[in-house]
Amino acid sequence: MTNTTPRKRLFIRTWGCQMNVYDSARMADVLAPVGYAPAEAPEGADMVILNTCHIREKATEKLFSELGRLREAKAARRAEGGEMVLAVAGCVAQAEGAEITARAPWVDIVLGPQTYHRLPEMVARASRAAGAVIETDFPAEDKFDHLPEAVAPQGVTAFLTVQEGCDKFCSFCVVPYTRGAEFSRPVVQVLAEARRLVAAGAREVTLLGQNVNAWHGEGPDGRDWGLGRLLRALAEIPGLLRLRYTTSHPRDVDDDLVAAHRDLPQLMPFLHLPVQSGSDRVLAAMNRGHTAADFLRTVDRLRAARPDLALSSDFIAGHPGETAPDFEQTMDLVRRVGFAGAFSFKYSARPGTPAAGAPFQVSEADKDARLQALQALLRDQQDAFNRSRVGMTFPVLFTGPGRHPGQVVGRTPWLQPLHLTGPLSLVGTEASVTVLATHPNSLSGLLAAGAASQTVQPEEEPAPA
């Protein structure tokens, strides 16, 4: 008999990092067995989840602005005879807790990043309760042990969280307080999920973690594995053409990880390695645990192992106590390394972090001026790197149709978007492309003469890890 029970509609809005993107997908996976299917917009949805990020500037203000709009959508849904369950998830939920429901009492659920495996139970409780359900503790059980094995297809490229939390306690960062202590998933669990992603069509998998190269998971042999060894095991999965990982800490780049960059063709020659500052005095104030020279030595080791490696990084302009000479040391480091891309921000205080109350706060005018100078230098370096690809031929993984008819888009080994005219049958394959030109946000190219796409068939049934 055909099941005619109407599906409930779920809309998730995601802010912030790639890990939040992964978390949103897993929340959808958790809710699918209890009848929720994706919706394109919050209007008319039976449940709306706002998955928040505390790293972004004015994150709390953006959340409450969105909640104000959703209050009207929730009232409209009720006027139609339906109900909208409204949930706030992620790092702002973890940090703000009951303050969210105090300011926005129409919110039904507030949940932290470690508790989304409990969502079906929370929804049931919210439907019975007179007040909001708040779950922002750090449960003793591993949430990954309680998530459904089946994962919704993410596409040709997919994210896989292997590590959460951070023990570094950088002065400017809220992650240790919102995501908790470092936790590494065991090898068997990671390999099983990677096989499922490949079986669902993924050809590139990016390993995620707040400090992903601090990952040390239990191996099937009962011993502790490092990230380099995990990457080697993942590279053996048939059908998995490319591997990436983010975000890393310079202190956790060990020799085995450097060797993996040398030995694994599946490991792409692009690494995001945040340095934040080029001044040892500022790095110490940030509690980064490394010096500028340490960072440069790490870069030299990586480039010796993989000469075509390109780097991106994170920078903060105007951390408390930063002087003009300190900032110039950051500019010197950028000139010496040469980055293919970067994320740069002016310092913004996060409540509860040590830097928020530190003396010698830098003026907004100085922060603005420094950030503009830094971003101009970084843009020049990124433009130069992109121009250096023109005329080169290398494999591109095609991920989907382009914006224009007859166009397909893909990713270069260095994560640059590239588009060309070609058949949709290229999607999900890797083929050699010659770069013809650069554009503001992408490259364009032409299939190389005689190029044949590489498609490796995944295992029909995921093998046990």
Q: How many CA atoms lie within 13 A of 146 on its CB side?
A: 15
Q: Are 279 and 305 in contact (CB under 8 A)?
A: no
In the block, residue with structure tokens 């007179």: 130
Is 166 annotated to bind a ligand? Reply is: yes
3-state secondary structure of 99: helix
Q: Is 352 left (phi over 0), alpha (psi -120 to 50) or beta?
A: left
CA trace torsion 429, 435, 436, 441 (10° rounding): 80
Is 17 annotated to bind a ligand? Reply is: yes
Element (H, E) at 49: strand 47-52
Tokens of 115: 């508790």
Q: Which residues contact 160 (CB under 8 A, 6 or more apart)?
A: 22, 190, 193, 194, 197, 205, 206, 207, 208
* Residue 155 C-alpha from the chain's centroid: 16
Is 263 annotated to bind a ligand? Reply is: no
Q: Which residues contact 131 (CB under 8 A, 6 or more apart)?
A: 101
Is 22 annotated to bind a ligand? Reply is: no
* CA distances to 93, 97, 105, 259 from 137, in Å: 11, 10, 20, 39
Is 91 annotated to bind a ligand? Reply is: yes
Is 170 annotated to bind a ligand? Reply is: yes
Residues at the binding site are: 17, 53, 91, 166, 170, 173
Residues at the binding site for [4Fe-4S] cluster are: 17, 53, 91, 166, 170, 173
